[in-house]
Chains A and B, each alone.
Chain A
Amino acid sequence: MADRPPAEGDRTAAKAGDNRPTLSLHVPEPKFRPGDTVDFSHIEVPEAGAQPRPDETTDPKDMRDFAYGLIRVLGDDHKAHGPWDPKLDPETLRTMLGHMAMTRAFDERMFRGQRQGKTSFYMKCTGEEATSVSASMALAGDDMIFPSYRQQGILIQRGYPMIEMINQIYSNKGDKLKGRQLPIMYSSREHSFFSISGNLATQTPQAVGWAMASAIKGDSRIAATWVGEGSTAEGDFHSACLFATVYNAPVIFNVVNNQWAISSFSGFAGAERATFAARGLGYGIASLRVDGNDPLACYAAEQWAANRARANAGPTVIEFFSYRAEGHSTSDDPSGYRSAQERDEWPLGDPVMRLKNHLIAIGEWDEERQQAMDLEAAEYVKKTTKEAEANGILGHGLHHPFRTMFEDVFEELPWHLQEQAEQAIRERETKFPGGLDL
Chain B
Amino acid sequence: MSTATKTTETAATGSERRLNMIEAINEALDISMAKDPDVVVMGEDVGYFGGVFRCTAGLQEKYGKTRVFDTPISECGIIAVAVGMGAYGLRPVPEIQFADYIYPGLDQLISEAARLRYRSAGEYIAPMTVRSPFGGGIFGGQTHSQSPEAIFAHVAGLKTVIPATPYDAKGLLISAIEDNDPVIFFEPKRIYNGPFSGYYDKPVQPWKKFDASIVPEGHYKIPLGKARLATEGEELTIIAYGTMVHVVEAVCAEKGVEADIIDLRTIVPLDIETIEASVKKTGRCLIVHEATRTAGFGAELSALVTERCFYHLEAPVERVTGFDTPYPHSLEWAYFPGPVRIGEALDKILSE
Contacts and interface: CB of A to CB of B under 8 A. Distances in A.
Chain B interface main SS type? mixed
B315 interface: no
Interface in B164-210: 179-181
Interface stretch (B14-22, B116-124, B228-236): B116-124
Contact of A189 (B92, B124, B225): B124
A239 B108 CA distance: 12
A176 interface: yes
Interface residues of B, number: 46
A245 B113 CA distance: 23
Given A189-B124, A195-B120, A243-B77, A210 B87 contact: yes
Given A202-B112, A205-B76, A209-B80, A214 B88 contact: yes
A208 interface: yes
Interface in B62-78: 66-67, 71-72, 74, 76-77
B119 A240 contact: no
A199 interface: yes
Contacts of A208: 77, 80-81, 84
B270 A242 contact: no
A410 B181 contact: yes
Interface residues of A, number: 45
Nearest to B89: A213
Contacts, number: 141
B124 A216 contact: no
A236 B108 contact: yes
B82 A209 contact: yes
A362 interface: no
B83 interface: yes
Interface in A210-251: 210-217, 223, 235-236, 239-240, 242-243, 246
Given A177-B119, A239-B74, 17 more contacts: A146-B84, A177-B120, A188-B123, A189-B123, A205-B77, A205-B108, A209-B82, A209-B92, A212-B81, A214-B88, A246-B72, A408-B117, A410-B269, A411-B117, A411-B181, A414-B269, A416-B269
Interface of B: 40, 66-67, 71-72, 74, 76-77, 80-90, 92, 104, 107-108, 111-112, 116-125, 156-157, 159, 179-181, 225, 268-270, 272
29 contacts: A144-B87, A176-B121, A189-B124, A195-B124, A206-B112, A209-B83, A209-B85, A209-B86, A209-B92, A210-B87, A212-B84, A213-B85, A213-B90, A214-B88, A216-B67, A217-B90, A236-B107, A239-B72, A240-B77, A243-B71, A243-B74, A243-B77, A243-B81, A409-B117, A410-B157, A410-B269, A411-B117, A411-B180, A415-B269
